[in-house]
Amino acid sequence: MTTQYAIQIVGKDLIEINPAMEIPDLGPTQILLEIEACGICFSDTKLMHAFDNHPRKTPIIGGLTPAELAQIPTYRPGTDPVVPGHEPAGRVIKVGEDVSRYAPGERVLIQTDYRHLPTAGSNGAFGYGFDGGLEQYALVDMRMIIDPVTDESCLIPLGEEPSRSSVALIEPWACVETAYATEERRRIKDGGALLVFIEPGFQPQGLEEVIAGSGHGLRLDCSAYEQIPDEDAFDDIIYVGANADTVEQLSQHLNKQGLMNIVTCGETFDRDVEIDAGRIHYDLIRYAGTTSSNAADGYLSIPRTYDLRESEHLAVIGAGGPMGLMHTVRAAVLGVPGIRIDAVDVDNDRLASLAHVIGPIADTQQVPIRVVNSNLTELESGVYTYVSLMVPAADLLQQAVGLARRGAILNAFAGFAIGTKAALDLNRILGDHLYLVGTSGSRIADMVTVLRRLEAGVVDTNISLDAVCGIAGVPAAIESVNNRSSQGKIVVYPHLHNLELVRLVDMGERYPEVAAAMDGTRWTKQAEEVLLKTGGNSG
């Protein structure tokens, strides 16, 4: 066994099937995985469109030296062709001589975000700058998958019971978990870079108390914005004033995970302020603030976490898509007392599919869920305590502000491209203590959380599955995800070389024996086993 079937992105919007890709030899710190299944993600289309300009495909700049990276044969930065796929399930089949943590035969859930290996604009990741899961066999290196600080591993052991597809679908469900389970910073970053910018005539209170104990000196800058060097970036900016131009300019100086605390001292902005929605999602920047004169009030307005709260009235905008379904199901099964959910979309077919999935869950959990076509039914303004946005459209983020009631959380889960500007009403956001959040990717802890829920029967990740295919069906699968015609997730079985894309609703026509093992139109482990024995692999 020296070659394999694989998918490669070879340039911008250029994807190829390689029927004889070389399986690399193992080094002493490396592991060869058999890919049991791999999901298709909308982010795969972003990689295809951007290719070497994608921030996760740019070269690694920390964590490993260039010489160490050169020892990893599947490292594919820049214009090197790369195997996409970052939603894989795998099994260890071979290990290098220095690997003692894993053994052949062990089944693993694969976390693919290497946060300890930064690129200039993001993190290194399996399926971006390293060959991913849309191949039969994948090589990883212990130096890639082990965080040297926490000793956490990106290969998470699991048993034999879960189906291949349900394990491959854990990663997107974990992204949803991360979107709610992350804790927020509610004070100035210790040892970080701080800017205090006070507009002329404004007299804030509490600055010394806010800064005390953070290791900062107080930096006041009351002069023109142009005097701040372009290269300066800050973990915290305390802005005292109400000038929209200044907020927009200062925002460019926020570090990743930076926080701007806006203190208006009772004044109001004379127009909406343009915020980079992509940076909220990918760079995790945050805006907080207060209409009072006390800088401490801005930090007090930040929620400790942005998980769902008791008696939440949640709107999921774009609920009919694959990720929207996951958000809706998670909210329904989480056990939050008094929660109500409005699942909102504009596509009747998607809404019908969602209602078919979510109806029995809502009945079992006794959670009121309303499925709403917002083209036909206008959503009521100012009533939602939580809005989760699945669609990367600036006008919908603006609409979310109007839908929210006082104290609401606005979760910009949608993958806005960095540079996507949304003109937001900061007077409303600050005055009504609305809080805008966003996350990207998943964490190991959240993947374990979803795995435990799957193993306990709390959630079946397969309910989000719409179609399956082998290597031959990947181009059609990517196109389906790209044009948003898929009504759920798509899982690829790389060892089924010739299996074209098959929607579950059409399985009875294409593979009656497989359909007979399904639960109606829902995918099962039994159906998967029949497909693996009979489906599409003639070569």
**Angstrom distance (rounded) from CA 77 to CA 312:** 44
**Angstrom distance (rounded) from CA 306 to CA 163:** 31
Nearest to 90 by CA among 131, 20, 23, 137: 137
Task: For 75-105, give the secondary structure using H, E and C.
Answer: ECCCCCCECCCCCEEEEEEEECCCCCCCCCC
- Residue 539: predicted pLDDT: 35
Cβ atoms of residues 75 and 130 within 8 Å:
yes
- Residue 295: predicted pLDDT: 94
302 secondary structure, DSSP code: S
Q: Using the structure block, give the residue that is written with the tokens 């959240």.
A: 446
Q: Are strands 340-345 and 123-125 parallel, antiparallel or unpaired?
A: unpaired
**Angstrom distance (rounded) from CA 458 to CA 455:** 8
pLDDT tens, per residue, the chain with 539 residues: 799 999 999 999 999 999 999 999 999 999 999 999 999 998 999 999 999 999 999 999 999 999 999 999 999 999 999 999 999 999 999 999 999 999 999 999 999 999 999 999 889 999 999 999 999 999 999 999 999 999 999 999 999 999 999 999 999 999 999 999 989 999 999 888 888 999 999 999 998 888 886 766 555 555 555 667 778 889 999 999 999 999 999 999 999 999 999 999 999 999 999 999 999 998 999 999 999 999 999 999 999 889 999 999 999 999 999 899 999 999 999 999 999 999 999 999 999 989 999 999 999 999 999 999 999 999 999 999 999 999 999 999 999 999 999 999 999 999 888 899 999 999 999 999 999 999 988 899 999 999 999 999 999 999 999 999 999 999 999 999 988 888 789 999 999 999 999 999 999 999 999 999 999 989 999 999 999 998 754 33
Q: Using the structure block, give the residue that is written with the tokens 């990947």.
A: 474
Task: For 13-52, give the secondary structure using H, E and C.
Answer: CEEEEEEEEECCCCCCCEEEEEEEEEEECHHHHHHHHHHH
Q: Which two tokens stand for residue 396?
A: 């919908």
- Residue 215: predicted pLDDT: 65
- Residue 382: predicted pLDDT: 96
Rounded to whole angstroms, what are the CA distances from 522 to 36, 148, 356, 461, 476?
Answer: 20, 41, 11, 11, 21
Q: Which two tokens stand for residue 401?
A: 């502000």
| Residue 174, phi then psi, degrees to nearest 5 | -70, -35
Rounded to whole angstroms, what are the CA distances from 537 to 47, 118, 493, 532?
Answer: 28, 39, 10, 8
Question: Is 478 buried (19+), middle (13-18) or exposed (0-12) by CB count in 10 A?
Answer: buried
Task: For 386-430, give the secondary structure using H, E and C.
Answer: EEEECCCCHHHHHHHHHHEEEEEEEECCCCCCCCCEEEECHHHHH
| Residue 3, phi then psi, degrees to nearest 5 | -130, 165
Cβ atoms of residues 89 and 462 within 8 Å:
no
Helices (H), 212-294: 244-251, 277-282
Sequence-distant (6+) residues with CB within 8 A of 78 are 52, 57, 58, 59
| Residue 436, phi then psi, degrees to nearest 5 | -105, 125
Q: Which two tokens stand for residue 505?
A: 């609703």
Helix axes of 170-181 and 444-456: crossing angle, nearest 10 degrees: 120
Helix axes of 322-333 and 170-181: crossing angle, nearest 10 degrees: 60
Rounded to whole angstroms, what are the CA distances from 118 to 81, 122, 191, 277, 415?
Answer: 20, 6, 21, 22, 20
Q: Which two tokens stand for residue 245?
A: 């131009």
- Residue 282: predicted pLDDT: 87
Instruction: Tell me the residue length of the chain.
Output: 539
- Residue 538: predicted pLDDT: 37
Q: Are strands 421-424 and 404-411 parallel, antiparallel or unpaired?
A: unpaired
Cβ atoms of residues 20 and 10 within 8 Å:
no
**Angstrom distance (rounded) from CA 439 to CA 323:** 14
